Amino acid sequence: MDANSALDILWVLVAGILVFFMQAGFALVEAGFTRAKNVGNIIMKNLMDFCLGSLVFWLIGYSLMYGEGNSFIGSFDLFYSNPTDLHNLFFQTVFAATAATIVSGAMAERTKFSSYLVYSVVITLVVYPISGHWIWGGGWLSTLATPFHDFAGSTAVHSVGGWAALAGAIVLGPRIGKYTADGKANAIPGHNMVLGALGVFILWMGWFGFNPGSQLAISGDNAYAVAGIFITTNLAAAAGATVTMIVTWFKYGKPDLSMTLNGALAGLVAITAGCDLVSPAGAVAIGAIAGFAIVYSIEFIDQKLRIDDPVGAISVHGFTGALGTLMVGLFAQEGGLFYGGGFDLLGSQAIGVVAVGAWAFGLAYILFRIIKATMGLRVSEIEEREGLDIHEHGQTSYNY
């Protein structure tokens, strides 16, 4: 092996470590944005969806996604062990775990732990790998006349998790006390915004592995591409948070912390699809649009659709993931509508967004309906009122 190949493998592994650390970020965001009586349950879900996901993705998920199959699905090779490709297995494993853990936040504080584990295995084993194959494994979206472009996973990872979260929240129903008899939404504040903010900072840092790592190389001129992706990623997050802060300041009279934190995440999710194709100015525009849209998306889902999403995961990952993927068709410096590229790329992006969204939402909805009808999806009323930590795990998270 030459030095450049070794350097590239090392970069993929280091980037994968950063993405792995995002699991801690998701856990802290969800824990901070929810109530203290459920923190242990949230940590357990975020721990075990990575553990189980790692096992089943190695078992067959990676082969379904990247194996030589057909335009719909990869191969059915068990126990992936190609010694020259294990760095990619690790990198894609932490991506798969991200898609799975997104759902946890939208279904927080009322889901049975055993039922969540079943869902987590299925999304990592089936839902994520198959749609991922369409995009990154040589499947049909990658072979369109103008190929669908999702560099690091606005749709492949985040929207898959977001649309599955939407299905889960619909089937599960809202938390007790979330909506009044006449349908008005009650705020249920999170217990610790310091944890939530720390989680967002960790996720922001992890995104410097998520997006730049997706170059899958850093030797030679790849280093310039990686550096550019660092910049577009950071600018989009900064623009998203800034615009969300301004919007909430005007809308509510004061800058809203939890919404601004989600604005940063919205910018990160939105830029992920096109971070390699857009200019720094384009990244600012994408982040700003996502930061503006996230406020109204969260309000619409919460107040108009009356779907209870404690952390805003559906909007942050599902909606802005789709929005960011579509904006590749506008802001890509090669092929984007705003750069004289016409509508071809935008059309392909729309096809991918709709196809993957229908796949993820449809399968997740069926899965959650089956779980609800068989083993049950929701804890009892007394368990929900007293907290999942005590009833699901036999302990509390805060002991004074």
State pLDDT tens for residues 27-54.
999 999 999 999 999 999 999 999 999 9
pLDDT band of residue 1 (cuts 50, 70, 90) is: confident
CB 233 within 8 A of CB 211: yes
- DSSP state for residue 213 in the 8-state scheme: G
* Local structure of 185: helix, strand or coil: strand
pLDDT at 91 over 90: yes
pLDDT at 400 over 80: no
CB 208 within 8 A of CB 16: no
Model confidence over 315-354: pLDDT tens digits?
A: 999 999 999 999 999 999 999 999 999 999 999 999 999 9
Range 34-63 burial, b when 16+ CB lie within 10 A, else e: bbebbbbbbbbbbebbbebbbebbbbbbbb
CB 207 within 8 A of CB 153: no
What is the distance between the alpha carbons of residues 21 and 337, in angstroms, rounded to a whole number? 36
CB 13 within 8 A of CB 87: yes
Instruction: Give percent of the chain above pLDDT 70.
Output: 100
Which residue type occupies 82?
N
What pTM was computed for the model? 0.96
* Local structure of 188: helix, strand or coil: coil
What is the distance between the alpha carbons of residues 49 and 99, in angstroms, rounded to a whole number? 10
Query: What is each CA distance from 226 to 11, 27, 213, 234, 390, in whole angstroms?
Result: 10, 28, 8, 12, 46
Model confidence over 256-298: pLDDT tens digits?
A: 999 999 999 999 999 999 999 999 999 999 999 999 999 999 9
* Local structure of 378: helix, strand or coil: strand
pLDDT of residue 390: 97
